[in-house]
Amino acid sequence: MLANPALRPLQTAAILILVLLGVALMAALAPPAMQRTVVEAMIKLTVVVGLFVFVGNSGVFSFGHVAFMAVGGYMSAVLTLAPARKETLLDLPGFLEALQLPWPVAMIVVVPAVGLIALAVGWPICRLRGIALPMATFAILIITFVVASNWKEVTGGRQALVGLPRYTGLWVAFGGAALAILAAAIYGVTRHSLLLRCSRENEVAAAATGIDVERERLIAFVISAMIVAAGGVLFSHFIGTITANTFYLDLTFVTLTMLVAGGMRSLTGAFVGVALVSIVSELFRTVERGFSVGNVTIAAPPGLQEIALAAILLAILILRPSGLLGDHEVAFTSSSSGSSPAKPEG
Amino acid sequence: MGCLGLSLVISGPMRVPLYRTCHTEHIRNPVNLLQTSSLDVRAVTVDFQGLRAIDDVSLRLHGGEILGLIGPNGAGKTTLINVLTGFQEPTRGSVHLGGEDIGAWKPHQRSRRGLVRTFQSVLPFAGLSALENVEASGLSIGLSRAEARADAERILMEMGLGDKLHRAAGTLPFGEERRVGIARAIAMRPRFLLMDEPAAGLNDAECRDLKQIVEGISQSLGCGVLFIEHRMSLVFELCRRIQVLQLGRTLAVGTPDEIRADPKVRTAYLGQEAA
Ligand SMILES: Nc1ncnc2c1ncn2[C@@H]1O[C@H](COP(=O)(O)OP(=O)(O)OP(=O)(O)O)[C@@H](O)[C@H]1O
Ligand SMILES: [Mg+2]
C-alpha cells in the first residue's frame, strides 16, 4: 500500500517523526539548557510545518502567519491564566476573567477558533492575485501587532502578559511537532494538496483544468493557520510570558528563513531548515556569550547570530534558490516526481 | 478495462483516447450530457486599449464536429479561445453553451462543465509528474483519487506515455509534453475541446498521431473540437468545416474545398502555402 506514490507523504512523516523521536530521546538525557534549545526548535518546527502547508503547496509567500501564533498565544493566555492575575493585568468581561481552563482544553478551543478567524481573513485575501496576496499577509501581521500592542483590556497592551502556565516541556513540544508533521502529511495525500500544487505550477492552466484556485488556497490557508496557532500556543507556554513583540518581525524572519533554507516545497525541507537554522543560531549564540579555549576567552560581538542567519539565507537563495532539498522528500521507496534523481536517504 | 470503454484501437504506436461510459461523470454532472450539444459565439468583439483583436465574430461548434479555425498570426484565434474559456471578457457579444449564456461562469467552472482547452505553449504543471498532471483533471471533475489515478494512467498509456508516468512534466521532450497537455484536457471529459495550435513544433510522425487522437476524441464521445492550426494540410484533412479569421474579422466559413477556392482567403492567407 505504501508503494502508492500518492501516499508517500505519510512515509515521509513517519520517518521525520522517528528522527524527531530520536532527537527528543537524546535531549531527554542532555543538560537543561540544551533541552530548552531542542524544545524551542521543536516549537518552531511546528510553526514552520504549518507555514509549509500553505506556502509549500500554493507557492504563495506569506509574511503573516506569525500573526496566527500571536492570536493563538493570546487566546490561550486568556483562557489559562489564573483569574487573580487576569484581574491585575487585564480588563476582561466577568465570565472570561473567571474562566480558567486546563491547558489541553484551551488548546482544543483555540486551534479551531483560529481556524475560523483564518477562514474569515483568508476569504478576501485568497482572491488576490500576484504580489497582492503576500502583501496582504504582511498587512495581517502589522494589524495584529498593532492591535496586540494597544488592546490593553485583552492583551495587556505594551505590558507583558506574565505568569502563563509553562507546560511546554520536551514531550509536549515533541507531541506538537509530531502532530503538525502528521497533519501536513495527511493534507499532502488529499486531493486538495495536489490541486493546489497544480496552481502553484501554473495558475492559468490550473483554472483551465477546473481547479478553483481561490478555494484550494483558502483550505490550505486555514489548515496552515491552525497548525501555526498551535505552535503559538506552545511557544507562549514555553516562555511563560508574551508581548506583542514576541510575535513580530524577528520570528517571521526566522521561520521564513527556516522554510526557505530547507526547501519550501518539501516537508523534509522544512524539517532540515529548522534543524540547520536552530543549530547555527545556537552555535553563534554560544560564541556571542563567549567561550574559553584553554585559558583564552573568545567572545563575538552581539548581533553576530542574526547576521549569520541572514548570510545563510542569502547564500542559499543565491546558490540553491529552491532550498537545500528542493522538492525532494525522504521516503522508504524510491520513485519521485522530482526533476533530478538525486535524493537524500531515509 | 473492465467497463465499457470505447477504446478505438488504431494502428501505430498510439491508441486513441477513450471514455469509460459506466463511470460517475454524468451522475455528478448531469448538465454535461444533454444540454451542451452546441457551443455558440455570438457577435463577440474584444478591444485591447485601442487594438480591436476580435471584431464582431460569431461561431458555432456542434458536438462531434471538428471545426478548423485558421488565420495569420495576430488574427485573434487565441483571444477567441480565451473568450470562450472565460480568461478574457468580451467587450461585446456573448458565449452560449447548449443555449445558456455562460458569460458569468469563471474559467474553472467552464472547464468543469466540459468546455476544455489546451494552450499554445502547453503550460504543463512542470514540477509535477505526468501522472499528477492528468490526475488533477479527474479530481477537479469530481472523481475519487483512485478513479482519477486509474483514468490518468489509462489515458497516458494510450498516448504512448506509459513509461513516463512518474517523470516531471517539465523534463519531458517537447512532443511528449504536448501529449501530456492533451491528456490533461481529455481527462476533463470535454464536451467541447478547444485546441490552440496543438501541432506546433511536432514532427510529421507526431502530427499523424495527433490527427488520430483528435479524430478519436471527436468520434468516441461526440466531443466537438475547435482546431486551431497553421499547418494547412492537417486542417484540411481533419475538418469538414473551416472558419478563417483575419485581423479579428471572419473572412470566410466553409468546407475545405470552398476555403481553398475562396479568392479572399487565397490572397489574405493561403497565398504563400497554396501556391
Ligand atoms: N492581453 C493582450 N493585451 C493586448 N493585446 C493583446 C492581448 N492578447 C492579444 N493581443 C493582441 O491581439 C491580437 C490577436 O492576438 P491572438 O494571440 O489572439 O492572435 P492569434 O491569432 O492567436 O495569433 P498566433 O497565430 O500568433 O497565435 C494580436 O495583435 C495581439 O498582439
Ligand atoms: Mg495564438
Residue A103 belongs to a domain: yes
Residue A171 belongs to a domain: yes
Nearest by Cα to A210 from B120, B191, B156: B191
Residue A128 belongs to a domain: yes
> What separation in angstroms does the CA of B239 have from each of B73, B119, B130, B224, B254?
20, 20, 29, 11, 10
Whether residue B31 lies within 8 A of chain A, CB to CB, comes out as no
In order of their start, the domains of chain B are 3-274 (3.40.50.300)
pLDDT at B271: 55
Report CB contact under 8 Å: A191, B145.
yes
Cα A132 to middle of ligand 2, angstroms: 29
8 A C-beta contact, residue A45 and residue A274: yes
Residue A201 belongs to a domain: yes
Whether residue A29 lies within 8 A of chain B, CB to CB, comes out as no
CB atoms within 10 A of CB A270: 34
Could you tell me the pTM of the whole model? Answer: 0.90
Task: Write the single-letter amino acid at A50.
Answer: G
8 A C-beta contact, residue B235 and residue B229: yes
Whether residue B168 lies within 8 A of chain A, CB to CB, comes out as yes
CB atoms within 10 A of CB B99: 10
CA distance B265 to A303: 73
Q: How many domains does chain A have?
A: 1
Residue A299 belongs to a domain: no
Residues of B in contact with A194 (CB under 8 A): 128, 132, 135-136, 139
Residue A327, phi-psi category: left (phi > 0), alpha (psi -120 to 50), beta (remainder): alpha
Extract the C-alpha cell encoding B146.
483512485
CA distance A211 to A196: 8
CA A268-A272-A275 angle, 5° bins: 140
Of A201, A204, A335, nearest to B128 by CB-CB distance is: A201
Q: Whose CA is nearest to atom 28 of ligand 1?
A: B74
Tens of pLDDT, residue by residue over B42-92, are: 999 999 998 999 999 999 999 999 999 999 999 999 999 999 999 999 999
Would you give per-residue pLDDT tens digits along chain A (346 residues)?
446 777 899 999 999 999 999 999 999 999 999 999 999 999 999 999 999 999 999 999 999 999 999 999 999 999 999 999 998 888 888 889 889 999 999 999 999 999 999 999 999 999 999 999 999 999 999 999 999 999 999 999 988 999 999 999 999 999 999 999 999 999 999 999 999 999 999 999 999 999 999 999 999 999 999 999 999 999 999 999 999 999 999 999 999 999 999 999 999 999 999 999 999 999 888 888 877 777 887 777 778 888 888 998 899 999 998 899 888 999 886 544 444 433 343 3
CA distance B112 to A206: 11
What percentage of chain A carries pLDDT values higher than 70? 95
The pair phi, psi for residue B73, each rounded to 5°, is -55, 135
**Can you give the residue range of the structural domain that contains A14?**
9-248
Tens of pLDDT, residue by residue over B111-134, are: 999 999 999 999 999 999 999 999
Residues 6+ apart with CB under 8 A from A320: A326
Does the Cβ of B174 fall within 6 Å of ligand 1?
no
Grid cell 532540515 is found at: A272
Residue A106 belongs to a domain: yes
Confidence of residue B22 (pLDDT cuts 50, 70, 90): very low
Residue A85 belongs to a domain: yes
Residue A301 belongs to a domain: no
pLDDT at B166: 94
Q: Whose CA is nearest to atom 29 of ligand 1?
A: B74
What is the ipTM for the molecules in this complex? 0.86
